[in-house]
């Protein structure tokens, strides 16, 4: 990972060298870059052939071992500096025990996307801290029932401090949600836990922050449930999550 200090009271993080090494390792240094890490062809691939990658193969062949090596590197990049590939990488790693050819193609597509965006940097910017309270904001979203194999939803989330991204989340939810609202609320509860951790950390450092913290949710039904404007028997099974989110944001 490369760290460059800037003249704007902060520093930039990037993994351009790592990306170049991966492109060379997997023979994609001259491949055409793509504009997005995952596309509509992924949905078509889920409905199509489920041909699995072979366990063994010759040098340079696509095997389970080479797939695991590539997605392991992509996971590291996604967790360190590139939240923009987190969703696509999560999809590629959903069945590392028995990866399909479609998973291998998705992993290579993510790498081709990185080839065209390898110069992007994650900027960490600070302030003088004199007489200021930090503004901590969380954002949550859910991809409802998107996995066609088990119909589990995906949680996505982001936390910023004074506009600087410090944490991001992308993972499959543990159970099957019965509605978009439930999936969104499950995602909101995960991000609320992340916000709680940030608050505890800053509290130990005696750093003041604005309270209550803000959590942005893009689902009206979930917002009404959180605000107490709407309630029904169908939402009782997620009542604990509702109370948790309400207590922390």
Q: What ranges make up the beta strands (E) of 87-222?
A: 122-125, 136-143, 154-161, 164-172, 214-217
- What's the pLDDT score for residue 247? 66
At 82, list the tokens: 């590139």
pLDDT at 3: 93
**Long-range contacts for 108-112 (Cβ within 8 Å, ≥24 apart)?**
108/26, 108/28, 108/70, 109/34, 109/37, 109/38, 109/39, 110/37, 110/38, 110/74, 110/85, 111/19, 111/22, 111/23, 111/26, 111/28, 111/70, 111/74, 112/28, 112/31, 112/32, 112/33, 112/34
Distance separating alpha carbons of residues 206 and 89, to the nearest angstrom: 36
The candidate with the shortest Cα–Cα distance to 243, out of 168, 188, 184, 181, is 188
Residues linked to residue 156 through DSSP beta bridges, in sequence order: 141, 170
Q: Model pTM?
A: 0.87
φ, ψ of residue 16 to 5 degrees: the values are -60, -40
User: Distances in Å between the alpha carbon of 42 and those of 13, 143, 147?
Assistant: 30, 14, 11
Collapsed DSSP state (helix, strand, coil) of residue 168: strand
Beta bridge partners of 125: 10
* Domain boundary assignment for the chain: 2-122, 131-248
In terms of CATH architecture, what is 131-248?
A: 2-Layer Sandwich (3.30)
Q: Distance (Å, rounded) from C-alpha 192 to C-alpha 215?
A: 7
User: Which residues, 6 or more positions from 20, have their beta carbon under 8 angstroms from its beta carbon?
Assistant: 29, 118
Residues forming a β-bridge with 154: 143, 172
pLDDT at residue number 125: 86
User: 154-161 and 2-5 as β-strands: parallel, antiparallel, unpaired?
Assistant: unpaired
Q: What angle do CA 208, 124, 210 make, to 5 degrees?
A: 20
pLDDT in tens, the chain (249 residues): 999 997 777 899 999 999 999 999 999 999 999 999 998 877 777 766 678 999 988 777 899 999 999 999 999 999 999 999 999 999 999 888 899 999 999 999 999 999 999 999 999 987 776 668 999 999 999 999 988 888 999 999 999 999 999 999 999 999 999 899 999 989 999 999 999 999 999 999 998 999 999 999 999 988 887 776 655 555 666 666 666 666 666
Distance CA 165, CA 53 (A): 36
Residue 248: CA atoms inside 13 Å, Cβ hemisphere, count? 24
In 3-state terms, the chain is what percent helix, strand and coil (to 5)? 45, 20, 35
pLDDT of residue 7: 72
Q: What pLDDT sits at residue 95?
A: 85
Task: Please report the pLDDT score of residue 60 as a whole number.
Answer: 74
């Amino acid at each position: 990972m490369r760290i460059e200090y800037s003249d704007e009271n902060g520093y930039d993080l990037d993994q351009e060298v790592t990306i170049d090494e991966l492109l060379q390792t997997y023979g994609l240094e001259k491949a055409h870059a793509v504009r997005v890490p995952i596309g509509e062809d992924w949905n078509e691939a889920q409905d199509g052939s489920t041909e699995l990658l072979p366990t063994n193969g010759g040098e340079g062949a696509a095997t389970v071992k080479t797939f695991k090596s590539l997605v392991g590197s992509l996971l590291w990049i996604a967790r360190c500096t590139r939240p923009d590939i987190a969703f696509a990488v999560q999809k590629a790693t959903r069945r590392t025990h028995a990866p399909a050819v479609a998973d291998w193609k998705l992993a290579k597509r993510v790498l081709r996307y990185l080839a065209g965006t390898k110069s992007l940097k994650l900027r960490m910017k600070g302030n003088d801290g004199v007489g200021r309270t930090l503004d901590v904001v969380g954002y949550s979203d859910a991809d409802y029932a998107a996995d066609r194999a088990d119909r589990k939803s995906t949680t996505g989330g982001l936390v910023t401090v004074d506009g600087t991204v410090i944490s991001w989340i992308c993972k499959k939810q543990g159970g099957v949600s019965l509605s978009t609202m439930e999936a969104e609320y499950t995602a909101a509860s995960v991000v609320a836990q992340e916000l709680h951790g940030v608050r505890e950390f800053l509290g130990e450092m005696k750093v003041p922050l604005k309270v209550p913290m803000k959590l942005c949710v893009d689902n009206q039904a979930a917002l009404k449930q959180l605000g107490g404007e709407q309630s029904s028997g169908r939402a009782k099974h997620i009542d604990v999550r509702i109370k948790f989110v309400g207590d922390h944001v």
